[in-house]
Amino acid sequence: MSDTITIRLPKKLQKELNVVTKTEKTSKSEVVREAVSRYLVVKRFQQLRKQVLPFAEAEGLLTDEDIFKAIS
């Protein structure tokens, strides 16, 4: 079952949301659900990266290129 959440948006953000929902023929709820979902994925990634970073640095994996070389 879904919960209802009420949010307050500044006028400018409301206008932008209205434009997107009309252009994409979708609901405000769907846009907000997708935005929250993406935000949570990014936050989770940042948390995991923060936990793993000390181990990666200890192995000399400092850049994306270092990681690609290690797994290739």
How open is the CA angle 51-61-59, to the nearest 5 degrees?
80
Domain count, the chain: 1
Q: Which domain holds residue 41?
A: 11-71
CB 41 within 8 A of CB 52: no
Does residue 64 have a pLDDT over 90? no
pLDDT tens readout for residues 24-35: 999 999 999 999
The reply to whether 5 falls in a domain is: no
23: in domain: yes
Confidence at residue 69, expressed as pLDDT on a 0 to 100 scale: 86
Tell me how far apart the alpha carbons of residues 34 and 40 are, in angstroms, rounded to a whole number: 10
Please report whether residue 34 resides in a domain.
yes
In this predicted structure, the answer to whether residue 57 has a pLDDT above a threshold of 90 is: no
On whether residue 33 sits in a domain, the answer given is yes
Structure pTM?
0.72
